[in-house]
Amino acid sequence: MNEEPLFFKIIPRHAIWGGKRIQEYFGYDVPDKTGQIWAFSAQNDGDTICQNGSFKGKTLSTLWTENPELFDSQKRKFPFIISLVAPVDNLSVQVHPTKKVAKKLGYSMGKNEAWVLLDTKQDTQLVYGSKVKIPELLNRINHRQFENTFNSIKTNTGDFIYIPAGTIHGLGKGNIAYEIQQSTDLTFRLYDYERRETDGSYRKLNIDEGVQSISDADSDYNTTHNYLRQKPVDLLKNDQIVIHEYISNSAFTITKVKVSGNVTLQKDGYWLTTVSAGKGKINGVPFKFSDNFIVPATMKQIQLSGNFTFMITSEQPVTGNNEKEE
């Protein structure tokens, strides 16, 4: 039985919209032009590695396969990519595949996504949804008519933004986000501000696939703001701990835990944990701001001390059907 948290080494991800914000804000030692880091991933091109204990040196995908007791999951594959994103330029306007579109391309599931904005500036924004109705939207995208088509929305520190598959979105420069994605690493660019690659060519767009995903999604995703800035629910609140749940569905459960003092919690399942502020100890093991660790399913009782904030991604509790899911 593993009774200690498993710390993981980050993977820096180069991006045309990247810069030095990852180093400046989080203190990570990463190359310039790093746009984001993967904190937890089991992708073929980025498999995070455990840094401590008896599992030191093992990749997340190996642990998922060889040590299922650490996760107690009903899913066949590790289901998430957890990132910290700090753009110095706008990300492309994009959309993620619905399950139907993803399956056509050989993936087992689509990709829902969410952001918790850890830091914003006075003028930071993001793109979310359309200013026009779906038929006109699809016509404009197909004809590359992007002016005055997408919603641009002011952002605030602490915002939670849910992005169901098929939703037009784009994180703006200056925002710093804790990003949760389902593990289908597939993004369709609709518009990229006429940016060019190093060879001078315009960056590739994915208009056909993007239009298919918008068409397959609920029209509300792109024509209302019902999914923006959803308020968290307080699961527990006292002088020493506040637990906010942002969302819990079949894609993911996202929670924030803020501790000031000493508390003991009971838990089921595993936590993918990122320290978004402060420092403390978990079952006597110290951690600090910007650390990323898994609290395995084998740790049923958690003792927390210090002054800190965790961002936690986990699976929705499974009830009834024990059949393995994709």
Domain holding 100: CATH number? 2.60.120.10
Structural domain span for residue 304: 234-314
169 and 252 share a domain? no
Q: Is residue 105 part of a domain?
A: yes
First to last CA, the chain: 26
240 and 195 share a domain? no
What is the count of structural domains for the chain? 2
Does the predicted model carry a pTM greater than 0.85? Answer: yes
Query: Do 50 and 62 contact (CB within 8 A), yes or no?
Result: no
Cβ neighbours of residue 138 under 8 Å, at least 6 residues apart?
Answer: 211, 214, 215
Final residue of a structural domain among 191, 223, 255: 223
192 and 287 share a domain? no
191 and 63 share a domain? yes
Q: Is residue 136 part of a domain?
A: yes
Dist CA 321 CA 326 (whole Å): 13
Q: Which residues pair with 256 in a beta bridge?
A: 244, 311
42 and 176 share a domain? yes
Of 5, 257, 217, give the one whose Cα is nearest residue 112.
217
Q: What is the pLDDT along the chain (326 residues), one digit of tens a residue?
A: 678 999 999 999 999 999 999 999 999 999 999 999 999 999 999 999 999 999 999 999 999 999 999 999 989 999 999 999 999 999 999 999 999 999 999 999 999 999 999 999 999 999 999 999 999 999 999 999 999 999 999 999 999 999 999 999 999 999 999 999 999 999 999 999 999 888 888 899 999 999 999 999 999 999 998 888 888 999 999 999 999 999 999 999 999 999 999 999 999 999 999 999 999 999 999 999 999 999 999 999 999 999 999 999 999 875 433 333 44
Final residue of a structural domain among 223, 250, 272: 223
Q: Is residue 66 part of a domain?
A: yes
Dist CA 65 CA 269 (whole Å): 16
Final residue of a structural domain among 174, 201, 223: 223
196 and 271 share a domain? no
